[in-house]
Amino acid sequence: MPITLGVICNYIRKGEPPNKPRAEFMNRAEIQELIDSCNIEIASHSLSHPFLTRIDSTEAWREISRSKSILESLFNIRVITFIYPYGDMNAEIRQMVKSAGYKLGRAVRPGNPDLSVKPYRLPTIELRRETKLAVLKQRIAKRDITILLLHQIVPEPTVFTQWNLADFTELMDWMHHTNIRVITLSELYQEWKRMAVVYPTSGKKMLFKDININATQALYPR
């Protein structure tokens, strides 16, 4: 399953955040292994995961632009997707993301993805502890495109950002046997660009009609 992995730059060195030294995050070698073996997309999730609308604009710009430069240097890849920490952003932050050279911004919010109008506010279905597998399957099956957001997959979820391992395994099996195609956000962007060229007046509608959005959102949907 190809994925878009949101990486917090300041947590890469030891695989743990400086304020929570025992928390488990991926280190550089583990991220590189995924790039080499699974061809995943790396997205910036900022330098230190702040609420971007609550800090000085100079610092917000540094969080956005510097994280892109670091990731591209560390892994020798192009980074075009930015993931807003906590889903927190506004028009000024979105403009910074665009100015820094990103092509996409993935938010945590309801709405229909439209890369021609709102490429920096892509909505998602967030898989939380209370997300029911049967409902999720129905929504994926009925829609052309679904963007899934996962934080942590564990055998027994205890916090709202975790999802059940057994449900995830069953979801993967179901997607495989029903030929559900999975691509990264950067691949979605490239396909949209191609469709926009081939079908300049209808490509957007063909790719992004009837997008399903889960009503369950993060604490600070933007």
Supply angle C-alpha 203, 208, 212, rounded to 5. 170
Neighbours of 10 (CB within 10 A): 16
Total-model pTM: 0.83
Task: Based on the fold, state whether residues 84 and 179 are members of the same structural domain.
Answer: no
Task: Based on the fold, state whether residues 24 and 65 are members of the same structural domain.
Answer: yes
Determine which of 93-102, 120-129, 156-165, 209-218 has the lowest per-residue pLDDT on average.
209-218
Residues above pLDDT 70, as percent of the chain: 82
Task: Based on the fold, state whether residues 2 and 67 are members of the same structural domain.
Answer: yes
Task: Based on the fold, state whether residues 96 and 148 are members of the same structural domain.
Answer: no
Residue 203 has pLDDT above 70, yes or no: no
Task: Based on the fold, state whether residues 99 and 8 are members of the same structural domain.
Answer: yes
Is the Cβ–Cβ distance between 172 and 162 less than 8 Å? no
Q: What is the pLDDT of residues 151-166, one digit of tens each?
A: 999 999 999 999 999 9
Distance CA 222, CA 220 (A): 6
CATH code assigned at 72 = 3.20.20.370
Higher pLDDT among residues 206 and 121, named by residue: 121
What separation, in Å, do the N-terminal and C-terminal C-alpha atoms of the chain show? 28
Task: Based on the fold, state whether residues 78 and 154 are members of the same structural domain.
Answer: no
In terms of residue numbers, what domain contains 63? 1-106
DSSP tally for the chain: helices H, then strands E: 7, 8
Q: Would you place residue 205 in the very low, low, confident or very high pLDDT band (cuts 50, 70, 90)?
A: very low
Task: Based on the fold, state whether residues 143 and 98 are members of the same structural domain.
Answer: no
Distance CA 89, CA 73 (A): 26
Task: Based on the fold, state whether residues 154 and 195 are members of the same structural domain.
Answer: yes
Distance CA 217, CA 221 (A): 6
Tally of residues, the chain: 222
Task: Based on the fold, state whether residues 197 and 137 are members of the same structural domain.
Answer: yes
Asked if the structure places residue 16 within a domain, the reply is yes
**φ, ψ dihedrals at 124, nearest 5°:** -140, 165
Number of structural domains found in the chain: 2
Residue 220 has pLDDT above 50, yes or no: no
Find, among 24, 23, 66, the residue nearest to 46 by Cα. Answer: 66
Neighbours of 35 (CB within 10 A): 16
Q: What is the pLDDT of residues 13-61, one digit of tens each?
A: 766 666 666 667 888 999 999 999 988 999 999 999 999 999 999 999 9
169: its two tokens:
């395994």
Determine which of 43-57, 99-113, 125-139 has the lowest per-residue pLDDT on average.
99-113
Asked if the structure places residue 173 within a domain, the reply is yes
Asked if the structure places residue 112 within a domain, the reply is no
9: its two tokens:
């730059």
Task: Based on the fold, state whether residues 78 and 4 are members of the same structural domain.
Answer: yes
